[in-house]
Structure 1
Amino acid sequence: MTADNRPDLLLMSGGEAMLRPSLVRSIAEHARLIGTRTNVLSGLFFANHPRIPAAVRAAIDAVDHFSASMDVFHEREVPRKATFKVLSQLLDEGKDVSLQVVGLGPEDPYLADLVKDVRSTFDDRIPMFVGSVAPQGRARTWLKRSAQPHRAVQPAPCSLAAWPVVGFNGHVTVCGNQDVMDGIVPMPPHLLLGNIAVDDWETVKERCLSSSMVRALRTMGPRYLAQSFGGRVCSGYCETCFTLSDDPSVPAQVSNAAREPRTRALEVATDLITAGAGPVAFARQWGIAKFAELVLLGLPHKEQAQCGT
């Protein structure tokens, strides 16, 4: 958030956001007028063209940051050479760019090869967030989640429950989980912040900041929350979150606990620790830990030191 509570950064993704380049440009230009930066994530479907199409180029110029998505499946449609050509052009023109890369795990040879290629081609000027393919979307039909070892439930704050996400149906949620956005999981009431057809930004912001359930997720995480207030602790982190509203007594107890002074003190301390941990800690939690430091590539050494503290 900015000092006057405007969103500091707006991310546009998809699907493929650049299929609507005029809309992306319009959003970016309006965001700049109110002091908000913008970032768009694209699979670079247009990279196979000899030149970047004019409308797409105008949209890229309008946003503050351009991020490209790469994985072995994308490369079947958009060859690495074509993606590198676009990124090189934008980088040489001074555009702020990054990569979001996914593979099948820390030992995936594809990831090792791609990371090495990116670092050598761009001389460590492009930061990368590297994560694992999840059994969602198209991967649901072939990727099976391996059984997770049983561990004692400990507090694990959800740093993803920190900004509103707008879906294609206009629903605004506090969670960008693909199953929630696609409607595969029935919308958990505690994750729904409103709908852009009827709710303005101030309303959405207020719900995001004041909801006792959302605040508890950011402080304790869903599994610890379920254990503490009589919910169902599932094997999965997000799966547990989806069930938290199934028993009405859980939100009611969380709401009562949120009124206690010690709860607010814990929330403030957790927020400070989470924010202070920086981007590398975020990448370790939500991406592949061995590649976490790659999010700092391209930053001046002084900024890298600040981010790493």
Structure 2
Amino acid sequence: MSQPIKPLGLGFGLLGTSNVAPISDAQAEAMFAAAWAMGLRRFDTAPLYGGGLSEERLGRLLRGVPRGDYLLSSKVGRYRDYAARISNPKANPGDWRDYSRDATLRSVEQSLTRLGTDRLDIAFVHDCDDDPDAALDGALPALAELKAQGVVGALGVGSNFAATHLALLREAELDVLMVAGRFTLLDQSAAPDLFPLCRQRGTQVELASPFNSGILATGPDDPATRFDYQPPDAATRAKVHAIQKACAAHDVTLKRAALHYSAAHPAVTRLVLGLTAPAGLRSNLADLSAPVPAALWPALASLGIPAPTEQP
């Protein structure tokens, strides 16, 4: 298999979700072993995922693996109780946010303990969309202290909103952004202002959720599919049907087109995919390693989707 067009990372939120029966340790071990065998070495987690359960389980998977052989990130600022049941992935009852200096230092210390490591390669401020000033005043200066001490390698922000990234990047020195779902076949909101500023500043972009929570992988007809964590409305399903039809006319699956689109923008450094069964991961890698015809982008432009390589 040829190499994917951009480096890949793997998010371990699935190790902490508890709105469905959590995957077993045996399944997690098989998924991790397959990912490692396929060459993935960039892993992401957060205290939010299972209230620390994801970090704890990822730490067990990494036990015995040389620390210099992989890149590891976690996050600060958004939290939930350990193994809390999830009824609303966007705003679960009982979740809380704290972007203060003390909470940030305490959070990183707890993450390191759960992960069984002495450092994070990247620490992201997590979803500070409603209070970016708190992150600027508290969390980011605290992480900068830890970076100076060698406990954190790079500072970043993770959010589902391009406006959050843009506001913080204009005010702070950030090494990397985890932009979730904001440069996809359905949403290009990161492209006009955020991505040009990232390129100007030399800030890396890790593009997470290229499938917008699933619909760009499953297609619009799967009754269980999601768009940004929620059941898609009729207009979204109709848009995906049109995209799917245009892709089929060029012998490209919707999933392959979605992956290539998110990876193709020159500001995007890496794609971060969700943890999946070995066959699913193999399929994603195959899609990223296979070419798509250049004529696909003009066909999608007729649906209002700008070519991913266009520069404003």
Q: TM-score, normalised by structure 2?
A: 0.44
Q: Which has the higher helix share?
A: 1
**Greater RCO (Cα-Cα under 8 Å, separation 6 or more):** 2
Q: Which has the larger radius of gyration?
A: 1
Q: TM-score, normalised by structure 1?
A: 0.44
